[in-house]
Amino acid sequence: MAINFDKAFGIHEAALNIKAQRAEVLANNLANADTPNFKARDIDFQQALQMASSNQQSGLRRTHAHHIDSRIGTEIPGLSYRIPLQPDTGDGNSVEAQVEQTKFAENAMQYQASLTFLTGRIKGLMSALRGE
């Protein structure tokens, strides 16, 4: 009997990938906190996970090799600009360092939780393979 890893791991593999992408986006926001006119972005986890689970990347698709791919610039599902809580500081930058740090820490904890869950699943599969 073959092991179906999609059934064994469920949606947690996709969740880890999305959380890793979100960590990159949040780190980029923090790195550009002092860059004039930089707009903070974030990934809507629910939307990205829904798109990953349904394996849809875009509502449009290319029907001919010479057509322009509609997914250019939207390689990260659920990515959008964040609406700042505080008014603009005058330089056009919408990054709020405290918000970004909080979101980054929250994302890291959720990533670790998914990783811990997957580790438990892998240990369970290893035990089953050994016949324990």
pLDDT at 73: 46
Which position has the token pair 């002092």?
34
16 is a domain residue: yes
79 is a domain residue: yes
64 is a domain residue: no
pLDDT at 95: 92
62 is a domain residue: no
66 is a domain residue: no
- SS3 track for 39-108: CCEEECHHHHHHHHHCCCCCCCCCCCCCCCCCCCCCCCCCEEECCCCCCCCCCCCCCCHHHHHHHHHHHH
pLDDT at 57: 46
Distances (CA, A) of 86 to 35, 97, 98, 129, 130: 17, 11, 11, 55, 57
104 is a domain residue: yes
Closest by CA to 84, choosing from 17, 28, 15, 29, is 29
Contact assessment for residue 76 and residue 107, using Cβ atoms and an 8 Å cutoff: no
Number of domain units in the chain: 1
Q: Which domain holds residue 114?
A: 11-32+40-54+73-84+93-132
pLDDT at 75: 64
Q: Which residues contact 62 (CB under 8 A, 6 or more apart)?
A: 68, 69, 70
pLDDT in tens, 54-104: 764 444 555 666 665 544 444 677 888 988 888 766 888 999 999 999 999
3 is a domain residue: no
Q: Which helix (H) or strand (E) holds 124?
A: helix 97-130
98 is a domain residue: yes
| 57 or 26, higher pLDDT | 26
